[in-house]
Homo-oligomer: A and B are copies of this chain.
Amino acid sequence: MIKNALNIEIPEYLEGLGKLEPYQGVWNKLQKGWMDEQTVPPAIKARLPHSSKMHNNLEEAILKCNPRNGMTVSFHHHLRGGDCILIQAITILANMGIKDITLASSSLTSAHESVLPYIEEGTITQIYSSGIRGTIGEACAKGVLQKPFVIHSHGGRVRSVQTGKIQIDLAIIAASAADEEGNATGTHGPSAFGSMGYAMIDAWYAKQVVIVTDNLVNYPCVPPSIRQNYVDYVVATDTIGDAKKIASGTTRITKAPLDLRIARIASDTIINSGYFKNGISFQVGAGGASLAVARFIREAMKKHNIKGSFLLGGVTSYGVDMLNEGLFHAIFDVQSFDAAVSSSLKEHPYHIEIPAGLYANPFNCGCMINKLDVVVLGALEVDVNFNVNVITGSEGEVRGASGGHSDTAAGAKLTVVVCPSFRGRLPIIKKNVNNVVTPGESVDVVVTERGICVNPKNKELKANLLEAGMHVREIADLEKEVDKITGTPEKIEHTNKIVGVIEYRDGTIIDTIKQIKV
């Protein structure tokens, strides 16, 4: 065991993952010569001319890809709660008797609950994902997987593929429109889901790529979000899922009064931060109060006649309205939080679909988060050093997603975390968090209903907010106040077994997830 920069113990080696490198600080690796890390070439293929890629069912296409024990299979989660392709594909592989699969989905949602039996029986033995939730998340925390799972950020996932940590044997990519050669998009069709940002790296690197669509269109499919030269096979199927289930839960603006109150304070924080000016670039994360901040920022931009540069990230109808109102010059869309934004993505030249690598991969020459001014993010827990947990719940279960949280926090000039100070009887502002996903070094300010805590490293921000008469306070004081209200929760009982690791965006390990006692 060695201690990482957050003083968290990290094993130097973990069976099923190999050598681990401890987290060293947000940008330290870069300064030490980050770009020297070994990378792998994309898959290289060749094909005879005038040969068909079409298959009438997924099973047939998967068979062509030589499925084998120990393979890595990847998916995107753009259909979120509405996806039905992941479970179909895993079922087919299980029926073929394939074992020991590494599941590398860009994330896992409520749509994937029924994959649990395949984990229990050993069809799937390892998971790489941004998020794990529900019964799968509980089972993972209890140690159901034979190998440790890896929680990565959206940007970190691209890095993992490029450095060969994730070597995708088979990428199965759902598309709401595609042609016979595999040019594919999510921007139109009955199951339109918007951006295909997370799937692009899979298409570029996977040894075999299958496009599955319920809307085979005349050649060529436009826009070609994924291009034919990466695609081995195309499957026409009845449905890829239910796009109506994309906009739900974490991707809708809250109506809860407390969340709205926090969002209002966060909006005022931004307005008084010094960053609220013409040319501002802006992102709000999914869930709770954060999406709601967009609503207040929109009003404030109109009132103060502010014109922004770009909106980034998960895109809602709110964002599209702001583009159309001229409040922002452009939207960069790595993921659409509402199927309704698809037509804007298809038609508006400044609503731009971007790959996850361009969004947030630390391993390139300037991803979008490097140019971001302000990001608003949620939290399950925040500790007195501003470290944020967005992955494990109060009982140690895995119930969230890393997403672009640590990516955007690292890049943005102003990282605002919004959360209530406690939920029910559970403290949110705590002395220690169960797990760290985003290091406090990259968080500037935490906004709660009981006041605003500014990271001591950001003296100018604190001064600006105080001058504006805002309720700024020490996070340690807030933590004590919350502790008095909720009491200190019982410590989660863990075994010594590490069931999963949380990878920081640069590939180092920021935390481990230990098995909960049952």
Query: Interface of A with B (CB < 8 Å)?
Result: 27, 30-31, 34-35, 37, 39-42, 44-51, 53, 162, 181-182, 209, 218-220, 222-224, 227-232, 309-310, 329-330, 332, 349-350, 352, 354, 357-358, 361-367, 369-372, 410-411, 413
Contacts and interface: CB of A to CB of B under 8 A. Distances in A.
Contacts of A366: 47, 53, 181-182, 228-229, 231
A363 B46 contact: yes
Given A227-B354, A229-B365, A231-B365, 5 more contacts: A47-B366, A181-B371, A218-B329, A219-B309, A229-B367
A58 B492 CA distance: 60
Which of A48, A230, A310, A369: most chain B Cβ within 10 A?
A48
Number of copies: 2
Contacts of A369: 49
Contact of A229 (B209, B230, B358): B358
Contacts of A46: 30, 34-35, 362-365
Given A42-B42, A222-B352, A47 B365 contact: yes
Given A42-B42, A310-B220, A352-B220, A49 B230 contact: no
17 contacts: A27-B48, A30-B46, A31-B48, A35-B45, A39-B42, A41-B162, A44-B363, A46-B362, A47-B365, A47-B366, A47-B370, A48-B370, A50-B370, A50-B371, A219-B371, A220-B329, A229-B357
B35 A411 contact: no
Which of A27, A181, A231, A364: most chain B Cβ within 10 A?
A364
Contacts of A50: 370-371, 413
Contact of A230 (B330, B364, B371, B413): B364
Contacts of A48: 27, 30-31, 370
Which of A39, A228, A329, A350: most chain B Cβ within 10 A?
A228
A448 to B, nearest CB: 27
Contacts of A367: 229
A350 B40 CA distance: 34
A31 B224 CA distance: 29
Contacts of A209: 365
Contacts of A358: 227-229
The 8 tightest CB contacts between A and B, nearest first, are A49-B370, A229-B364, A39-B41, A34-B46, A45-B365, A49-B411, A41-B41, A35-B46
Contact of A365 (B27, B230, B354): B230
Contacts of A182: 365-366
A343 B44 CA distance: 34
Contact of A222 (B37, B49, B349, B361): B349
A49 to B, nearest CB: 4
Which of A27, A220, A224, A361: most chain B Cβ within 10 A?
A220
Nearest to A223: B349
A49 B366 CA distance: 7
Contacts of A41: 39-42, 162
A227 B366 CA distance: 10
